[in-house]
Amino acid sequence: MINGLTAFLPTLLAQDEAHVVNTASFGGFFPTRGLGPYGAAKAAVISLSESLYMELQDAGSAVGVTVLCPGPVATAIADDERNLPAGMVRRAELDTAPQMVARRDQNAERMEAGKPPAEVAAMVLTAIRERQFYLHTAPDLLPLLDARFDRIRTSRNP
């Protein structure tokens, strides 16, 4: 993402109108068991996008920024090993602990039941047109943020 911004932002800045859409995840707002590195990377995308937005605003730039924080989307992301080269060991073979198998199955089910990709795409176009910064595709998950920030404000453990 940083390389993309470094490469394309000068061109975007030279235009009368432009928009950056960075894809994070709702998981970037809070830690999730078994997905620590994923959540950390997505939290970085959110923070980078917030910084970029503020810097562009300070500069009076016409470049807009949206950070897409989707909840479950019905894609093949849960089957990320589908293109694994022959002979490579799959996670399921490495970690056969029942709780990990259950977590992987649960994640796959959540993704399958998620919002259709075309619907998310339409939401992104609307966000660009309306210059909306945060784009949540699963507003029903937003109360989880309230609970997290309440724990942070009151110094309670996760």
Q: What is the mean pLDDT of residues 3-19?
A: 96
**Would residue 60 be called left, alpha or beta, if left means φ above 0 and alpha means ψ between -120 and 50 degrees?**
left
Question: Given this model, what pLDDT does residue 127 score?
Answer: 98
**Residues 125-157 pLDDT 10s:** 999 999 999 999 999 999 999 999 999 999 999
Does residue 33 fall inside a structural domain?
A: yes
Q: In terms of C-beta distances under 8 Å and separation of at least 24 residues, what long-range contacts does 60-63 make, across chains too?
A: 61/13, 62/15, 62/16, 62/17, 62/18, 63/9, 63/12, 63/13, 63/15, 63/18, 63/19, 63/20
10 Å CB burial of residue 30 (0-12, 13-18, 19+) is middle
Does residue 39 fall inside a structural domain?
A: yes
Does residue 107 fall inside a structural domain?
A: no
Is the CB of residue 47 less than 8 Å from the CB of residue 2?
Answer: no
Does residue 4 fall inside a structural domain?
A: no
Residues in the chain: 158
Adjacency order of strands within the sheet including 63-69: 18-23, 63-69, 134-136
Q: How far is it, in rounded angstroms, from Cα 16 to Cα 64?
A: 11
Q: How far is it, in rounded angstroms, from Cα 151 to Cα 30?
A: 11
**Residues 102-113 pLDDT 10s:** 777 777 777 777
Q: Is the pLDDT of residue 90 over 80?
A: no
Does residue 136 fall inside a structural domain?
A: yes
The CATH code of the domain that includes 19 is 3.40.50.720
**Counted domains in the chain:** 1
Q: How far is it, in rounded angstroms, from Cα 63 to Cα 11?
A: 10
Model confidence, pTM: 0.84
| Highest-pLDDT range among 28-37, 51-60, 71-80 | 51-60
Whether the CA torsion 58, 59, 63, 69 is positive or negative: it is negative
Does residue 40 fall inside a structural domain?
A: yes
Range of the domain at 138: 15-74+114-153
Does residue 100 fall inside a structural domain?
A: no
Which helix (H) or strand (E) segment holds residue 17: the answer is none
